[in-house]
Amino acid sequence: MRIGWPVIKSIVLVWMTFVIFTPTSVFAANGGDWVKANWENYPDNTGQWTVLTRNKVTSIGSTQNVKWTGFLNTKALKTVDATFEYDFVHDDPNNKDTDNDMIGWTFRHTSSTNNFNDITKQSFYYVTFRGPYDGDGTAPSRSGVFKNASGLEPRSNNDTDNSTPAVGEGRNDFKLLQGISLIWADKKTYHVKITVKDEAAGTRIQVWVDGKSYANVLDKDPLPIGGYGPYTYSQAHAYFSNIEINGASFLNTPPVFTRSSPADNTVFRNNQAIPIKGTMSDSDATGTIAAYYAIDNPDAKQVIQTAASTGKNVAVSGQVPVATVQNLKLGKHTLYVWSEDSEKAVSDKVAIPIVIKDGQLAINWQGSSFSFSTIDLTTGKDGQVTTTLPKLLLQDGTDSNKGYSVSIQATPLKEVTPKNGYVTGTSARSFPSGTLQLKTTGKEAITLGDQGTKDNQPNIPAGNYTIDAAPVTVIPGKANAGSGIYTVSFIANSLSLNYQLKNVFADPYNYPNQETPYETTVTATIVQGP
């Protein structure tokens, strides 16, 4: 009678991972965008804009009555969506200015030249408010939301040539997007909020004054991008205070962040933290200052550390944790580092290109489980059956010179548990240990993978190993060897099962109508160091 059984082999993937040594070595809040030094009086400082303190409030104002004059942030020319808030008041300290013309705010402001001295070369939106005096009595229509996309020359109040519409005027002005029914009064302070946001159909501009909505308009042919700032037209002694750009004070100097490490294009493994070092400072010396990082998306910021703002340099030392690095795809990324102060001002964001590579010390079987051929108990003889171990993938991405050793161990062959459990009074049969032999020749094929080299590949000595009694070392550790990825192909029939009939049992009770299956688990382990 033929009673045979296949030995079913399952593979457990076992690896050991080691921590790798650590190397030692501006968007509407674009850092510096609203620093006073980055704003330009234009054209050619004709309006003589001045930062001064009035009634204990720091303000910026034009002190000369000229046509168009502005205080433009020329370092923020990439601004798109934004929220602008400010207070404005007309107040001549000498009470001699009776002029009542235009006071407003410009945004998405660009110039076709490399300066802002020629208003006819510029495109911009502007929200303007008119004073109570106007010769034709149409002042309410002169306040509004306007667009100048053609660089027209502003005209004076009395100019009747409607082919060149005046900046801020509404009469026959095709640039008027929406009128605002508001006339400012002398010495009265107004709080203005303007939001600019792109939508699918265009750019929406909304205006509130003292909390009341005055304009909500969608421009379907919008200006795409540009700087911003206060302006006046034919009006001196207009003062702007409490200016905020996306919630950050324009009179607050942003902090400074200086990166020490990591250097550009540093390679990191995905099982190590990314160290961040540098300094941060805030010349305002008020409140607190914090360092942040983000990977790929500057808006997904994570705090590194926080400190009191004293005006002096603060050492920054932190890291992107391993848990975060492990979730990054292999390849190129951008690490952003910067600082922010408690007044919401932001430093320039340092963009650092980095590369993530697989940093594991790992070992994995490649392919499916294997099996021995059926043992025929009717021969009455002891014998041997053979099979071939699957390929073994070795990986050392630690950049260490310690090398590694590889050991293999198998569990003794044991009867597979029946689907419905063992019949009462029976239990699993097992082979004795010492029956599984692994043969190596020293000539096993080794395929080079990423960063693997012929000179650096692991050494596999020839040998015969009993693997089901205790772990056996098949690749001895060697310093400066094994770095990279390698695939080891064992020889054909590298694993043999040497059996004696007296130790081999069929199980007709639990497997009455089939061959009796046995199984073993072969585990490969990699350990760093010789």
What are the structural domains, with CATH classification, of the chain? 7-19+360-528 (no CATH), 36-249 (2.60.120.560), 256-357 (2.60.40.10)
Q: How far is CA 22 from CA 17, 195, 319, 322, in A?
A: 15, 46, 10, 12
Structure tokens at 422: 């063992």
What does the pLDDT read at residue 152? 57
pLDDT tens digits, the chain, 530 residues: what are they? 223 333 332 223 333 222 222 222 222 333 334 444 567 778 888 888 877 767 767 788 888 888 888 888 877 788 889 999 999 999 887 777 677 788 999 999 988 888 888 877 888 999 999 887 654 444 444 789 999 876 654 443 333 333 344 444 433 335 789 989 899 998 999 999 999 999 999 999 999 999 999 999 999 999 999 889 999 988 888 999 888 888 877 666 778 999 999 999 998 888 889 999 999 998 878 789 999 999 999 989 999 999 999 989 999 999 999 999 999 998 999 999 999 988 777 888 999 999 998 878 888 999 878 899 999 888 889 999 999 999 999 888 877 778 889 999 999 999 999 999 999 999 999 999 999 999 999 999 999 987 788 888 888 999 999 999 999 999 998 887 878 888 999 999 999 999 998 988 899 999 998 999 999 999 999 998 77
The residue whose two tokens read 């993937």 is 13
Structure tokens at 453: 């080299």
Dist CA 230 CA 381 (whole Å): 101
Cis omega (within 30 of 0) for bond into 43: yes
CA proximity to 224, closest of 301, 146, 149: 149
Structure tokens at 4: 């045979």
Record the pTM. 0.48
Dist CA 34 CA 515 (whole Å): 82
CA angle 456, 459, 463 (to 5 degrees): 175
3-state SS of 151-207 is CCCCCCCCCCCCCCCCCCCCCCCCCEEEECCCECCCCCCEEEEEEEEEECCEEEEEE
Contact (Cβ atoms closer than 8 angstroms) between residue 480 and residue 403:
yes
**Residues in CB range of 374: below 8 A, 6 or more apart:** 4, 5, 6, 515
How many Å is the Cα radius of gyration of the chain?
39
Contact (Cβ atoms closer than 8 angstroms) between residue 152 and residue 68:
no
Structure tokens at 202: 């265009």
Dist CA 152 CA 169 (whole Å): 13
- Within 10 angstroms of residue 392's Cβ, the number of other Cβ atoms is 24
What does the pLDDT read at residue 456? 85
Contact (Cβ atoms closer than 8 angstroms) between residue 45 and residue 58:
no
**Residues in CB range of 75: below 8 A, 6 or more apart:** 30, 32, 33, 35, 38, 227
Dist CA 42 CA 116 (whole Å): 6
Dist CA 149 CA 123 (whole Å): 5
Contact (Cβ atoms closer than 8 angstroms) between residue 199 and residue 89:
no
Dist CA 146 CA 222 (whole Å): 11
Burial of residue 272, with CB atoms counted within 10 A of its CB: 0-12 exposed, 13-18 middle, 19 or more buried: buried
**Residues in CB range of 455: below 8 A, 6 or more apart:** none
Dist CA 241 CA 250 (whole Å): 9
DSSP 251-308: TSPP-EEEEEESPTTEEEETTS-EEEEEEEE-TT--SEEEEEEEES-TTS-EEEEEEE
Contact (Cβ atoms closer than 8 angstroms) between residue 429 and residue 417:
no
